[in-house]
Every structure is written in structure tokens, then in C-alpha cells.
Amino acid sequence: MENPRPLAALRAEIVEQRTKASDLAAEYYERIARKNPQLNAFLSLTRERALAQAERMDALAAKGDPLPPLAGIPIAIKDVLVMQGAASTAGSKILAGYRPPYDATVVERLEAAGAVLLGKTNCDEFAMGSSNENSAYGPVRNPWDTERVPGGSSGGSAAAVAADLAVAALGTDTGGSIRQPASFCGVVGVLSTYGRVSRYGLIAFASSLDRIGPFAGNVRDAATVLGVIAGHDPCDATSLHAPVEDYAAASDRPVEGLRIGVPAEYFAEGLDAEVRAAVERGIAALKEAGCQIKPVHLPHTKYAVPTYYLIATAEASANLARFDGVRYGYRSPRSETLADLYSHSRDEGFGAEVKRRILLGTYALSAGYSDAYYRKAQQVRRILAEEFLRAFAEVDAIVTPTSPVPAFKLGEKAGDPLAMYLADIYTVTASLAGICGVSVPCGTTGAGLPVGMQVLARHLGESTAFRVARAVEAAGI
């Protein structure tokens, strides 16, 4: 497996003119040309825009001007985030050919920081999936074993970083869509606090759950990228006014004295034995580093999956109503009436998983059922959030497996959507609670597949999560 060069080292080479940003971009495009046909991590490339940005960074370096924090760093963007003039499909046929007239806020901030944006990465359609098999443009393959899934929905971004097709990448996480692919692909993935990163320019799945975060080859690089994209945005009413910390510097701080919670509910039946062993080695490494390990209890965890799949699908049914064949995106050629246009365009444009979730969400919101299902799910969501608040009164961070299993084979769960949903048990709780977390590699299975440890911290506790994740990384498990 590739071992991507650290972001800071690449930037230093560009600052000192030992490497040109344009040469670095060309190197990554050559690697994409070689590897992407097999992996299918990228759906489209933004070569002209990327090379123009690289040349700007080279010109600044040649003049000796100060360079921004991501100067010349090649980064990939999940295809649910819009880029002006670039194809933005959300992995769906219904948006084939859509080229938005504006940039997402996170795209603007990356470019302002000097990043070279290589292209758009493959994902489950509208970010709905845990395997990246739901993309209308074919599945992504895991670089560790191309017969296995990379995780989803941000599988293209995770695979791109794991295969060194990008130094870092942006993904989105609604119920685990950054953390689980990070675990499956052996990279670092970040779930930021809800509202920490602007969602302006994100093609919405579930608006109260969707979050944007980075993938990177190591904790410090992920922290650096989050520091660039975080912060208030007047274009997003849900973005927080809290100041942005120096996450990269925070990740360097020692963890001695931190209280680490271990919830028994995340180590119960259904957890793969090798995953358990790897995560327990990570916990032992934290204890060796001077952390105090404490049991914590999150007893309502067992209700998280049904709660999530009621709230997320309800919001999806509302958000995806806009894709009707009228204003943009796919329009069915066999429509004679307006009703036909809506029906045929959505039937032909949406894939099976998206249709399934629209139906589930529409049912949960329908007259006579919304109190029994959607309202009840929101009440359970509050209970789950309060459980985390009580736990964080006793500990500084909570550690769990990211996924109960390592990467599974392509097609293994495709015919059983319920089994696919249940695999999200360790990630959806943090999504519902709005807290932050990091998935960090903590070893491999006997078959050589990576395992991720999930480090959760309280709202706006990203600095703590990065500190703990960095300690696990430093242990070299």
C-alpha cells in the first residue's frame, strides 16, 4: 500500500523551490491515469483549474512571497460538493451533466489556502450507502484488496488518499460516510462537530446530519485541512460562530492524564474478533501513553440505527423532491404530461437505494404515522445526545471500533440492505448527537485489511479527538 508523503513536507519542498507545484500536480495526474481505471475513485478531473492554481503557487514561490498553508497540495473533492463549471453528479444519473455556477464554501477555502483541486471523487448516490456500490457510475474498489469495498458513501475520497492519488480529500459524513471508509481504507477521516464546517454548496441528503470533513494519510494532515475549511459562513445559517483552533498544533500535545471512556455497548455481539483485538491494542497504547481508561455506558445505543434511518430518510425525501426533471438534471424523454415528467424522470434517474430511502422517509412523514415514527425518532435522538453529554462529564474522549467488521467483498451485502444498515451501528450515534470524532488506523487483520479506531469528543472537541488519535497513530500498532 502507498504511504503518502506528509503535507508539511510537500509544502516545504514547494516553498523552498525544490519541487514545483505544477510538477507535483502532473505527478498526481499521471498516477491517477495509471490507477484510476482499476479503482474508479475519480469520476472527473479538473485539470485546467488545478494546473492554473499550481502555476500561481509556483509564481508566488519564485518571487519569495509567503505561501498559504496548503500551497500546491493536491486535494480531491467528493462529488456531492459543487465546483463551478465542473461536473457535480452526486453519483447519480439524475444529475448527469450538471455543472453548477458556483463553488461550495469549502472549495473556496481550500483554493484560498493554495490547494490544487484535482477532481471529483466517486460516491454512493446522494451519499446514501456504506459500500460505494450504489454509485450510478460503478463501484469504487478498495486499494488494499480490489475485490473489496472501500466503504461508503465517501469511498472514492478514501480510496484516492489510500492509493496516493491525492494528499488529502474531502468527504461528507451523514451517518458514518467519512469514518467507515477511512477505517476500511486505512486512512484518517474526520467527523467535525455539526456546524463546524459550512455546508453551503453540499448537495443535501439529510440536512440535520450532513457534515463535511477531510481524509488524509495521517492525523496532523487531517487536522491541518480541517483548520482551513472550518469556521462560520454567512451562507450557512447552521454554521457556528465559534473560533477555529489550531488543530494541527493541538494534535502534537501529549495525552498523559486524559480520561478515555470505553463503552461496553460498542464491544458486544456482532463485533469481529480481529477488529476487537486491534482496537483493544489501541486502548492499551493509550494507557501506556498515560491515559486513564474508564468504562462508560451508552445504554440507548441499540436504538441508534432505527432512529437514524427514520430521521435521515425523512429528510432525504424532502431534500430530493427538488429533482423532478424540470429545472436541471435528467429529464425523461418519454413524458407527455407533467405528472409523467415527474414520475418517469425520478424513476429513471434515481437508483434503487435512493428510491428505497425516499419511500421510507415519505412513509415516516405521512399523515397518521409521523408521530409514531419521525417524532418518536427525534425524541430518541435527544436521549442519545444527552447520554453522550453525561459521559463527557466523566471522560475527555470515548474510543470505539469504527466499524464492527473490516472491508467486506463487493456484492457481499448488496442484496441485504438491512445488514448494510446494521453495519453503521458504531457511527450513527455520534451523527445523531452532533458531536465530533476521528477514525484513525489501529492495525490490520490477519488477511492484511486495515482496522480503524473511532475517537469521539464533545461538541467542538476536535482538538482533543486529534490528540488522542495522534497518540494511537504514534504507537505504530
The pLDDT tens digits of the residues spanning 222-236 come to 999 999 999 999 999
The 8-class DSSP code of residue 375 comes to I
- Catalytic: 355? no
Cell 435522538, residue located? 381
Q: Decide if 427 contacts 175 (C-beta within 8 A).
A: yes
Q: Which stretch of 56-65, 331-340, 435-444, 446-455 has the lowest confidence by average pLDDT?
A: 331-340
Better-predicted residue by pLDDT, 35 or 371: 35
pLDDT category of residue 388 using cuts at 50, 70 and 90? very high
Q: Does 92 score more than 70 pLDDT?
A: yes
The pLDDT tens digits of the residues spanning 291-340 come to 999 999 999 999 999 999 999 999 999 999 999 998 888 999 988 899 99
Catalytic residue selected from 20, 22, 35, 78: 78
Q: Please list, residue by residue across 235-274, b when 16 or more beta carbons sit within 10 angstroms of its beta carbon and e when fewer do.
A: ebeebbeeebbebbebbeeebeebebbbbebbbeeebeeb
The pLDDT tens digits of the residues spanning 240-293 come to 999 999 999 999 999 999 999 999 999 998 999 999 999 999 999 999 999 999
d(CA 319, CA 1): 39
**What is the arrangement of strands in the sheet containing 450-457, beginning at the earlier edge strand?**
42-45, 116-121, 74-78, 168-173, 211-216, 188-191, 436-444, 450-457, 397-401, 259-263, 292-296
Residue 338 pLDDT: 92
Residue 392 pLDDT: 98
Residues facing 10 on adjacent strands: none
Q: Does 175 score more than 80 pLDDT?
A: yes
The 8-class DSSP code of residue 465 comes to H
Catalytic residue selected from 153, 157, 239, 317: 153
Which residue from 229, 191, 86 is spatially nearest to 438, judged by alpha carbons?
191
Residue 3: CB partners within 8 Å, gap ≥ 6?
Answer: 164, 217
Cell 519564485, residue located? 62
- Grid cell for residue 132: 460505494
Q: How many residues appear in the chain?
A: 477
Q: Which stretch of 189-193, 234-238, 364-368, 463-467 has the lowest confidence by average pLDDT?
A: 364-368
Q: Does 367 score more than 90 pLDDT?
A: no
Angle between helices 273-288 and 462-474 (to 10 degrees): 100
pLDDT category of residue 2 using cuts at 50, 70 and 90? low
Q: Which helix (H) or strand (E) holds 452?
A: strand 450-457
Burial class (CB in 10 A: 0-12, 13-18, 19+), 98: middle
CA distances, 38 to each of 147, 181, 352, 395, 450 (Å): 11, 18, 24, 44, 20
CA triple 79-81-84, angle to 5 deg = 100
Q: Please list, residue by residue across 392-427, b when 16 or more beta carbons sit within 10 angstroms of its beta carbon and e when fewer do.
A: beebbbbbbbbbbbbbbebebbbeebeebbbbbbbb
Distance of CA 448 to the CA centre of its chain: 23
d(CA 19, CA 38): 29
CA distances, 251 to each of 117, 162, 438, 468 (Å): 25, 21, 12, 8
Residue 421 pLDDT: 83
Residue type, 303: Y
The pLDDT tens digits of the residues spanning 390-442 come to 999 999 999 999 999 999 999 998 888 888 887 899 999 999 999 999 999 99
d(CA 46, CA 59): 20
Percent pLDDT > 90 in the chain is 93
Residue 1 pLDDT: 65
Residue 416 pLDDT: 84
- Catalytic: 376? no
- Catalytic: 177? yes
Residue type, 347: D
Q: Which helix (H) or strand (E) holds 473?
A: helix 462-474
Q: Tell whether pTM > 0.85.
A: yes
Secondary structure (3-state) at 90: coil
pLDDT category of residue 476 using cuts at 50, 70 and 90? confident
CATH H-level superfamily of 7-251: Amidase signature (AS) domain (3.90.1300.10)
The 8-class DSSP code of residue 221 comes to H
| H helix intervals, 163-200 | 179-185
Catalytic residue selected from 92, 154, 177, 439: 177
Residue 418 pLDDT: 80
What count of other Cβ atoms lies within 10 Å of the Cβ of residue 336?
8
Average pLDDT in the chain: 96
| H helix intervals, 40-150 | 47-63, 105-112
